[in-house]
């Protein structure tokens, strides 16, 4: 056993994910063709520690959002275990899962389509309270006013409809809704990608504030590596449904080990041209998720691949203290 596992001072995992897989099957567009199988998440394993913010980054379609929804049981896993606070929620019945729903919330990517256009701001924030608490109507109203004030919106906005708000204001309403039942864990599914750059920093600062004030545990999903670094304590890098690297935020940005992570880090814009950072451009296209390559999922684009990479899929292993990587050559 790793000595760190016995350290009582280390935060205990809130989530323990092992071998998590999600396969989607759809009909082929060709007459008589075989069903199309998409392995959206392919044997992913990681922990989410109590009180931390774990970032997930990767290209579109790599399985980040699917992973987040599996942790909330918005999707049922094909295989693997999802242990939340000591209970494997991948296998508990719907009634038991419903009792845990108030502990787990999500902030969606699109701040408009995620809000019911026929409900007022007050009703949107109060709806989870109807489902998960026994508060009276007056208490729900007071709670909604309190949350509006917390996310920086005036009290008089409570009776407006979603179309009357800007994108940043709508995302604040989504955050208030997620906070209404006092959750322990929140999935932030690219919460700023649909917002203007000038508004992104405001929403990110709000997420940092609620994390400090409420001791929340976050899974923060995003494309922008600079955004993930600002929020996250640790960062995981996904590619074609697999987790390629996982390390502390500073470590993964200063000393990336996987060739894919190195390429992502090198692509971050830098105003300091004097540093002369080398760009690591990747060649080739991402393989189709319906026709996954054998071996390492990244080997078709890897600049340092060897014959073994095309045959054997590498396991995520610790290559340095608190730094794991799935690569045969590291």
Order across the sheet with 317-320: list the strands: 104-107, 185-189, 217-221, 53-57, 234-239, 242-248, 323-325, 317-320
Q: What is the pTM of this model?
A: 0.90
Q: What is the pLDDT along the chain (330 residues), one digit of tens a residue?
A: 343 444 445 567 999 999 999 999 987 666 666 788 899 999 999 999 999 999 999 988 899 999 999 999 999 999 999 999 999 999 899 889 998 999 999 999 988 899 999 999 999 999 999 999 999 999 999 999 999 999 999 999 999 999 999 999 999 999 999 999 999 999 999 999 888 888 999 999 999 998 899 999 999 999 878 889 899 999 999 999 999 999 999 999 999 999 999 998 888 776 555 455 667 777 777 888 888 889 999 999 999 999 999 999 999 999 999 999 999 998
Q: Phi then psi for 324, rounded to 5 degrees?
A: -110, 145
Q: Look up the CATH number of domain 13-232.
A: 3.40.50.300
Please report the pLDDT score of residue 10 as a whole number.
59
Torsion of the alpha carbons at 268, 272, 273 and 276, rounded to the nearest 10: -70
* End-to-end CA gap in the chain: 23
Tell me, what's the pLDDT at 31? 66
Three-state DSSP state, 116:
coil
Which residues in the chain are classed under CATH 3.40.50.300? 13-232
pLDDT at 289: 83
pLDDT of residue 3: 39
> Cβ–Cβ contacts within 10 Å for residue 50, how many?
16
pLDDT of residue 269: 72
Residue 154 C-beta-side C-alpha neighbours within 13 Å? 4
Q: What is the DSSP letter of 267?
A: T
**Given phi > 0 = left and psi -120 to 50 = alpha, else beta, which region is 211?**
alpha
Residue range 94-141, pLDDT digits in tens: 889 998 999 999 999 988 899 999 999 999 999 999 999 999 999 999
Residue 6: predicted pLDDT: 41
Strands 87-88 and 104-107: unpaired
- Asked if residue 248 lies in contact with residue 233, where contact means CB atoms within 8 angstroms, the answer is yes
């Amino acid at each position: 056993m790793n000595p760190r596992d016995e350290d009582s001072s280390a935060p205990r995992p809130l989530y323990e994910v092992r071998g998590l897989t999600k396969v989607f099957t759809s009909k082929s567009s060709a007459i008589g063709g075989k069903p199309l199988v998409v392995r959206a998440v392919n044997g992913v394993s990681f922990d989410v520690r109590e009180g931390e913010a774990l970032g997930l980054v990767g290209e579109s379609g790599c399985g980040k959002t699917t992973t987040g929804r599996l942790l909330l049981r918005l999707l049922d896993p094909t295989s693997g275990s999802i242990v939340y606070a000591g209970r494997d929620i991948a296998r508990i019945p719907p009634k038991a899962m419903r009792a845990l729903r108030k502990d787990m919330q999500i902030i969606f990517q699109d701040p408009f389509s995620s809000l019911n256009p026929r409900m007022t701001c007050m009703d949107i924030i109060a709806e989870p309270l109807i489902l998960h608490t026994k508060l009276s109507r007056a208490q729900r109203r007071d709670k909604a006013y309190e949350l509006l004030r917390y996310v920086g919106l005036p009290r008089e906005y409570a009776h407006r409809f979603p179309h009357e708000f800007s994108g940043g204001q709508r995302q604040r309403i989504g955050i208030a809704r997620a906070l209404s039942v006092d959750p322990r864990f929140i999935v932030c599914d690219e919460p700023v990608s649909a917002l203007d750059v000038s508004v992104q920093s405001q929403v990110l600062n709000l997420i940092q504030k609620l994390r400090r004030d409420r001791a929340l545990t976050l899974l923060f999903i995003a494309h922008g590596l600079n955004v993930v670094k600002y929020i996250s304590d640790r960062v995981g890098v996904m590619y074609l449904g697999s987790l390629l690297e996982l390390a502390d935020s500073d470590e993964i940005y200063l000393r990336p080990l996987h060739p894919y992570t190195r390429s992502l880090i090198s692509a971050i814009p830098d105003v300091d041209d004097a540093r002369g950072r080398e760009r690591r451009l990747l060649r080739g296209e991402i393989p189709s998720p319906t026709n996954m390559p054998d071996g390492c999922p990244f080997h078709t684009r890897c600049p340092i691949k060897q014959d073994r990479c095309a045959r054997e899929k590498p396991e995520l292993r610790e290559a340095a203290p608190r730094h794991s990587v799935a690569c045969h050559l590291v």
